[in-house]
Amino acid sequence: MTLDAVVGVSSRAVKAVLHVPEGTTLALLGPNGAGKTTVIEALAGLTEPDSGHATLGDAVLFSDRGGRMRLTESRSRGIALVTQDAALFPHVSVLDNVAFPSRSRGNSRADSRADAHEWLERVGAGHLAARRPRTLSGGEARRVAVARALASDPRLMLLDEPFASLDIESAVAMRSLLREVLKGRTAVLSTHDGLDAIDLAHTIAVLDHGIVVEGGATSATFEHPRTAFTAALAGLVWLSGTWVEGALTLADGQLVPAIGEGLTLGAAVAVTINPRAVKIVPPTTPGGVRDNVLALEPRGDGIVRVRCSALWADVSIAEASHFLPRVGEPAHFDVAARPHAFSLDS
């Protein structure tokens, strides 16, 4: 089912527009407090929107009619939600947790349990059937929650930070499980990690202060980010300023040579740069960009990230050993190739 929604929750300053074509996954990305959980809860029926409308296929989830909200009860929405805390019923077994959706549809206990067994096997948690939720690890509980969600045969799956607080191994396993079970389903998942988005989502929507600031096909959006936040998620350095002939002028007046087609002088523009293409050069080198070093971060494999206030560079230890800048002191950067500048005005 295709999801179309405008979610307005004025008490949390959220007004987000979403479109999720049938059988695809949308990743909601955004900094802390951007409104991801609010949007997911409003779709699930756990938070009441006070404006907007949402349809899932032909069904109306909520709709603002002249200031009066019409809300479909959450249990009638055909939506399954997997939250960080898994929210399993503590007093029954894992099997009965997963059998619950089928039981609520009026099926017999035996049939519901048989169905639940299948779902547990499908998510690789068959061996946990007899356990109580409190005895499960975070990763196991989340797997069981996914099985319970799937057992309800949802028309829309919502996953609120499904990888949060999982160790690396469990997160990898959860990602490969979701890659499998979300195939062909309509789903919305919130995450802080660009890798989750490229791995699982056909489209992304980046939320900031409650509104979608950019979005579209996952790879295209990461390739050409329009905001500093998305650029950072994509692992790219982001510099913004105003356009002068053949260069971007940073706020402090420094120039970054760039290619700009059809840009008007004085336009607000930005460039994105691969941090591995940024070099640290001797302070006497003409051109380049000076910036104060905020941190030196080891990135593994002999790479150190020289992080400054406006830009950063990933340089090898060998390279850094010549001109290693100190934290609090300026470093001199050479942006190797002239990046393409694009307008931020449209």
Beta carbon nearer to ligand ATP, 10 or 321: 10
Contact stretch for ligand ATP (CB under 6 A) within 27-35, 63-71, 309-317, 321-329: 27-35
- With a CB cutoff of 8 Å and minimum separation 6, the contacts of 241 are 248, 249, 250, 251, 256, 268, 269, 270
Answer yes or no whether residue 38 interacts with ligand ATP by CB under 6 A: yes
Answer yes or no whether residue 101 interacts with ligand ATP by CB under 6 A: no
Answer yes or no whether residue 30 interacts with ligand ATP by CB under 6 A: yes
Answer yes or no whether residue 36 interacts with ligand ATP by CB under 6 A: yes
* Cβ at position 61, least distance to ligand ATP in Å: 18
Among 230, 224, 188, smallest CA distance to 21 is for 188
Beta carbon nearer to ligand ATP, 151 or 197: 197
Instruction: Show the tokens assigned to 245.
Output: 């002939």
b/e burial code for range 237-253 (CB count within 10 A of at least 16 → b): bbbbbbbbeebbebeee
Among 2, 6, 12, 202, binds ligand ATP (CB under 6 A): 12
Q: How far apart are CA 164 and CA 160, in angstroms?
A: 9
Kindly state the number of chain residues that form the binding site for ligand ATP, as judged by CB under 6 A.
10
The answer to whether the CB of 190 falls within 8 A of the CB of 159 is yes
Answer yes or no whether residue 224 interacts with ligand ATP by CB under 6 A: no
Among 266, 260, 225, 259, smallest CA distance to 244 is for 266
Beta carbon nearer to ligand ATP, 35 or 52: 35
Report residue 34 CA to chain centroid gap: 11
Beta carbon nearer to ligand ATP, 41 or 319: 41
Answer yes or no whether residue 202 interacts with ligand ATP by CB under 6 A: no
* Cβ at position 256, least distance to ligand ATP in Å: 32
Beta carbon nearer to ligand ATP, 196 or 319: 196
Answer yes or no whether residue 230 interacts with ligand ATP by CB under 6 A: no
- Kind plus residue range of the DSSP H or E element containing 143: helix 138-151
Contact stretch for ligand ATP (CB under 6 A) within 32-40, 122-130, 167-175, 272-280: 32-40
Sign of CA dihedral 177, 181, 184, 185: negative
Contact stretch for ligand ATP (CB under 6 A) within 33-41, 258-266, 295-303, 317-325: 33-41
Neighbours of 74 (CB within 10 A): 14
Measured CA distances, 213 to 16, 30, 166, 204, 226 (Å): 9, 9, 28, 11, 8
Answer yes or no whether residue 175 interacts with ligand ATP by CB under 6 A: no
* Cβ at position 34, least distance to ligand ATP in Å: 4
Answer yes or no whether residue 288 interacts with ligand ATP by CB under 6 A: no
Answer yes or no whether residue 35 interacts with ligand ATP by CB under 6 A: yes
Sort 295 into a burial class: Cβ within 10 Å, 0-12 / 13-18 / 19+.
exposed
Answer yes or no whether residue 211 interacts with ligand ATP by CB under 6 A: no
Answer yes or no whether residue 45 interacts with ligand ATP by CB under 6 A: no
Q: How far apart are CA 16 and CA 14, in angstroms?
A: 6
Strands 303-308 and 289-300: antiparallel
Contact stretch for ligand ATP (CB under 6 A) within 28-36, 74-82, 231-239, 284-292: 28-36
Answer yes or no whether residue 218 interacts with ligand ATP by CB under 6 A: no
The angle at the Cα of 248, spanning 247 to 252, to the nearest 5 degrees, equals 125
* Cβ at position 138, least distance to ligand ATP in Å: 17
Answer yes or no whether residue 189 interacts with ligand ATP by CB under 6 A: no
Footprint of ligand ATP (CB under 6 A): 11-12, 30, 32-38
